[in-house]
Amino acid sequence: MPYNFDEVVDRSQNYAAKFEEAELHYGTNQVIPLWIADMDFRTAPCVVEAIKERADQGIFGYTWRTPRYFESIAAWQQKRNGWLPEINKMAFAPGVVPAMRMVLNMFTQPGDKIIIQQPVYHPFADVVENTGRTLVVSPLKRDEDGYYTMDLEDFEAKARDGAKYFILCNPHNPVGRVWTPEELKAVGGLCVRYGVKILSDEIHSDLMLNGRKHTCMASVSPDIAAVTTTFIAPSKTFNLAGLQSSTIIFDTEGRKDQYVAELKRMDIARNNCFSLVATMAAYEKGEAWLEELQVYLADNMRFIYDFCREHLPELKPNLPEATYLNWIDARGLGLDDEALHRFCVDKAGVAFGKGTDFGAGGSGFLRLNAACPRSTIEKALTQLEKAIRAR
């Protein structure tokens, strides 16, 4: 393996939200931070080189995207997922979440019903509520083995009831599902039938584990493509969230044009000079690095699973099909949510994502960010084991 994902990089001095912001959410930053979704690994060397080369020029003026930028993104999608997005429907966004908010603001009305499937990435509920739209939750179903599926009967009832948009998490954060083409066809078909448009958040789609394949919602059928707007980014894949650049692939060129006009009015239509070169370098030269990362992450997930089976039977982690996020059923500890949260922080010294943040179905769960060296995970789980045994 030419890339060393075991290396422990000290991030405590680099203005990392994971450390600095922990104080705000956990009351301390003296914890092992396994919460916010970025990685403790250095990005691919090709990305670092591109940024260094750009920095060496010493000129950081206004940028302009040449055709190479969107071409590199489209080519990556085609190569990795077999879907070639149309460049004339692609637009820049400073982030997936702000872009979703803009899309809802521009193409829906206050009070419109928007469906999400909880437990899910909590800003989905926030963007709906903060824009004055009506949140409609169609909860995922969980079987006794902890495997999640969509509740299509419930979804249909809600789609039929006048919903305007559905925000899909594909693959799903936090439950780690890679939706199959059949599942996507079924839920997408309901959207087409009832006139519900789809926002497909595919930000984690490069992080497939154990050889699984991602299916882009917009590639499932022409009918579904006609109502689907897709959000992608190199930020999770290559650990570039701090560079703030994402891509939206709109359902129609007309809506793309309206969105871009609004970006220009707000004067936020340009990439910063580093995200521009980093994105192209990642998509053009980063594949070998990503493939090693995927193996390391899958091994981390197996490590967590085996560790808990052996030492922490009160915790039931999943084996996610994608993402670097592990969704742990901690109800075996018999604590209410506040007590569980405080116990992890105060007694074990570990900051997990709180299950309740993800909405319905999150109570009693923890989200563990496994994008860190295995030694960090081992330390966190060992601290947790010690704290549990000392109860």
Ligand X SMILES: Cc1ncc(COP(=O)(O)O)c(C=O)c1O
Question: Which positions touch ligand X (CB under 6 A)?
Answer: 37, 95-97, 121, 169, 173, 201, 203, 233, 235, 241, 246
Residue whose beta carbon is closest to ligand X: 95
- Tokens found for residue 355: 């299950």
- What tokens were used for 150? 């969509």
Pick between residue 45 and residue 95 the one whose CB is nearest to ligand X.
Answer: 95
Which residues lie across from 167 on neighbouring strands? 116, 199
> Please, what is the minimum distance in Å from the beta carbon of residue 384 to ligand X?
23
32 vs 116, which CB is nearer to ligand X? 116
| Residue 251 vs 357, nearer CB to ligand X | 357
Instruction: Report in angstroms the alpha-carbon separations of 160 from 115, 163, 378.
Output: 11, 7, 47
CB nearer to ligand X: give 94 or 348: 94
CB of 244 to ligand X, least distance (A): 7
- State in angstroms the smallest separation of the CB of 97 from ligand X: 4
Alpha carbons 137 and 128: distance in angstroms, whole number: 11
Q: Is 195 left (phi over 0), alpha (psi -120 to 50) or beta?
A: left
CA distance 251 to 255: 7
**Complete edge-to-edge strand list for the sheet that includes strand 32-34:** 32-34, 350-354, 365-369, 325-329
Rank residues 16 and 37 by Cβ distance to ligand X and give the closer one: 37
Q: How far is the CB of 1 from ligand X (least distance, A)?
A: 26
Q: Omega of the bond prior to 119 within 30 degrees of 0, cis?
A: yes
Q: How far is the CB of 205 from ligand X (least distance, A)?
A: 10
Question: Closest separation between CB of residue 2 and ligand X, Å?
Answer: 28
Q: Nearer Cβ to ligand X, position 203 or 227? A: 203
For the chain, what percentages of helix, strand and coil (3-state, to nearest 5) are there? 45, 15, 40
Structure tokens at 326: 């592990």
Residue among 178 and 233 whose Cβ is closer to ligand X? 233
Q: Smallest distance from the beta carbon of 245 to ligand X, in angstroms?
A: 8
